[in-house]
Amino acid sequence: MENMQFMAWMLPILFILHDFEEMVMVEAWGKRYRSKLKQLKKAPFGHAKTASFVCAVLEEFILAVGVTVLSIYFNQYIIWFGFFFAFTVHFLVHIVLWFRFKHYVPGILTSIFMLPFCCYLLTAAAEIEKFSFPAMILSALSGTLIVFFNLKFLHKKMGRIQERLEAYGRI
């Protein structure tokens, strides 16, 4: 795969495919494992309902598309690399949750199937763009920190988003 523009579009495409699995399953999964999740100090996916979870996914998707469009427009892919690295590493989080939880967790199927392809894309992008090792490390750390804090913010706000959606439905 030699075309960096095509590869860049893999971020929002793979992101949304992965998140479709999460969006479809998160609420049903939360109901199925409610008692087990209540025992955990911090439940994966919180106690998300589909609507509030989809709102968080939408914000992340807009961010992924924005990073992709800007990278292609400026023909500079180092920021994209950092975000794609964070996206790839987050599959490992799903896998760890799956092993700890010992049951299906939303997103595990796409994580298992997409992880090798994403590792390949990261390697290919680094070769095509000839990123220096320090640039890749800085990009990976920056992208991961931005995504981590964004996710933390979104998980914190999902309860409030759900309250607003329910209030809208009552009026």
Whole-angstrom distance, CA of residue 106 vs CA of residue 98: 9
Whole-angstrom distance, CA of residue 23 vs CA of residue 37: 18
Q: How many residues does the chain have?
A: 171
Closest by CA to 49, choosing from 28, 78, 35, 18, is 28
Confirm whether pTM is higher than 0.85.
yes
Range of the domain at 80: 4-170
The alpha carbon of 12 is separated from its chain's Cα centroid by a whole number of angstroms, namely 10
Domain count, the chain: 1
Task: Render each residue's pLDDT in the chain as its tens digit; 171 residues.
Answer: 569 999 999 999 999 999 999 999 998 998 898 888 777 766 666 667 888 889 999 999 999 999 999 999 999 999 999 999 999 999 999 999 999 889 999 999 999 999 999 999 999 999 999 999 999 999 999 999 999 999 989 888 888 888 888 889 887
Reduced DSSP (H G I as helix, E B as strand, rest coil) percent helix, strand, coil of the chain, to 5:
85, 0, 15
The token pair that represents 141 in the structure block: 């750390």
